[in-house]
C-alpha cells in the first residue's frame, strides 16, 4: 500500500481500523478517527506547509476533506459495531 494523501478514494480501504478495534477494542473507551482533518487538508493542499506541500490546490483540498469524511464514517460504524459500544 502506498500513501496517496487522501486524494484517492481507495485510501478508505485501509485495514488499520478493523485490526485496531479487534486488538484494542475492549481496552479503549474513547476513539478518534482523525486528528485535525482541516489542518491536515489546508496545510498540505492550500498553504503548502505540510506534506504533500501543494500550494493553493483548493479543489484537491476539498476532495481530501470529502474522502476523510467518508473514511471517518466507515471507521465510526466499525467502532460502533464493537461489543459494548453505544
Cβ atoms of 37 and 68 closer than 8 Å = yes
d(CA 79, CA 76): 5
**pTM greater than the 0.75 cutoff:** no
DSSP class per residue in 32-84: -S-S-HHHHHHHHHTB-SSTT--BS-HHHHHHHHHHHHHHHHHHHHHHHTSTT
Per-residue pLDDT of the chain (86 residues; tens, 9 = 90+): 445 667 666 654 555 555 566 677 667 777 777 888 889 899 999 999 988 889 998 999 999 898 888 888 888 887 777 766 66
Question: Hey, where are the domains in the chain?
Answer: 37-86
Amino acid at each position: 500500500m502506498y500513501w496517496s494523501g487522501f486524494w484517492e478514494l481507495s485510501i478508505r480501504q485501509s485495514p488499520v481500523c478493523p485490526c485496531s478495534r479487534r486488538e484494542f477494542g475492549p481496552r479503549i473507551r474513547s476513539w478518534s478517527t482523525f486528528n485535525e482533518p482541516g489542518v491536515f487538508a489546508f496545510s498540505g493542499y492550500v498553504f503548502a506547509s505540510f506534506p504533500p506541500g501543494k500550494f493553493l490546490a483548493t479543489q484537491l483540498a476539498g476532495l481530501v476533506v470529502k474522502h476523510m469524511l467518508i473514511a471517518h464514517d466507515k471507521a465510526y460504524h466499525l467502532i460502533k459495531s464493537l461489543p459494548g459500544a453505544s
